[in-house]
Amino acid sequence: MITTYLMKGNVISLIASVIILIGLILLDLRGLTYALSLPFILIMWIVWILALPSLYSYHESKLDKPKIMDYFALFAIIITFFGLILASLGNFTGIEIILIGYTLEPVAGISIYLTTKKINLTYSSLFFWGAVVFTAGLPLYLVNLGIISIIGDIIKMIGIVGLLTTNFLKDKH
């Protein structure tokens, strides 16, 4: 069964994933230069802000191997903060720094995976591997293959929805 904090973390992650998906699609449609546009930067700030309650919720949820989540997610948040500042100032290096921060997302997600696989291995795997594909796909925007990242984000969302639904159905019985 998913704890209240784990459920909150997953709901926040789902909301962030939907917002990220909007940004990824816009970036794919409008090209890499869109990454420094005001709408895209605002999307990134919203996602960054959502990372704070997400980290708190996951921290409080007593995940397996919690230090993996705590340290890697915190480093990702710090790194992306500095990247967002630079990107907000129009410096493309900020986007590159954000990308570095995002590489830590799947590592931090190991704790979530180890915990949620006990609930549902399929959905937990979709959540985790979707995050891996999403992250690995980000640099592929450079060669017009942003669709890989988009697919990864969608797979991740299917996993999150599945975990939330599985928990909801278990609570009803």
Per-residue pLDDT of the chain (173 residues; tens, 9 = 90+): 568 999 999 999 999 999 999 999 999 999 999 999 999 999 999 999 999 999 999 999 999 999 999 999 999 999 999 999 999 999 999 999 999 999 999 999 999 999 999 999 999 999 999 999 999 999 999 999 999 999 999 999 999 999 999 866 565 54
Give the Cα separation of 16 and 50 in Å (integer). 7
Do residues 63 and 112 lie in contact, with contact meaning Cβ atoms separated by under 8 Å?
A: yes
Roughly how many angstroms between the first and final C-alpha of the chain, as a whole number? Answer: 12
Residue 153 structural domain: 1-171
How many domains does the chain divide into?
A: 1
The reported pTM is 0.93
pLDDT of amino acid 3: 81
Which residues lie below 8 Å from residue 165, measured CB to CB, with a gap of 6+? Answer: none
